[in-house]
Amino acid sequence: MKGRAGNILIKNKKASHDFEFIEKFIAGIVLTGTEIKSLREGKANLADSWCHFHNGELYVKGMHISEYAFGNLLNHNPVQERKLLLKSRELRKLEKKVKESGLTIIVMKVFINERGLAKAEIALSKGKKEYDKRETLRKKDAAREMDRMRKIK
């Protein structure tokens, strides 16, 4: 998908349905050559991606970046863990909140910025219960109905 100024934008559509976002961050992603080429083609899926800490560093799991079509034997593994780059102050803050209150970190979207670097928008989030999901759907339907009534008048 194309985002602002022709940049690649891949969204996790399921995230807003399943999670309530508390705080958002922009992080860099460490990628190999074939991964960035495949990402620029828009061949990524964030549906089941989540972040975890290992030795004080943040990694994303479950982010699927398809193999590059013109790659050779050195093509990347589509579902490997990828390191996220944040300032150490932000990493300490996130790690503390995740350990204390049982929150989770999910990847909301991945995009290529103006300088050509791969970035991920991550969110510190709390899982929604089933009744919260239904309430969100009801609010969405009500808003859609109100917009429909405004257009008719």
Domain boundaries, the chain: 4-128
Reading the block at residue 11, the tokens are 């969204």
Nearest to 107 by CA among 87, 125, 122: 122
pLDDT at 40: 87
Res 135: pLDDT: 81
Q: What is the pLDDT of residue 2?
A: 52
> What's the pTM value of the predicted model, to 2 decimals?
0.75
CATH of domain 4-128: 2.40.280.10
CA pair distance 63, 78, nearest whole angstrom: 8
* CA 82, 97, 25, 9 torsion-angle sign: positive
pLDDT attached to residue 4: 46
User: What are 15-67's pLDDT values in tens digits?
Assistant: 777 788 888 999 999 988 888 888 888 888 888 888 889 988 999 998 888 88
Give me the chain's average pLDDT, please. 84
As a residue count, the chain comes to 153
Q: How far apart are CA 135 and CA 141, in angstroms?
A: 10
Q: Give the ranges where 86-125 is alpha helix by DSSP (H).
A: 88-101
Distance in angstroms (rounded) separating the CA atoms of residues 71 and 133: 41
Tell the burial category of 82 from Cβ atoms under 10 Å away from its Cβ (0-12, 13-18, 19+): buried
Query: Which of the pair, 130 or 83, is modelled with greater confidence?
Result: 83
Stretch 142-153: mean pLDDT: 85
Q: What is d(CA 21, CA 36) in angstroms, rounded to the nearest whole number?
A: 27
pLDDT at 5 over 70: no
pLDDT at 125: 87
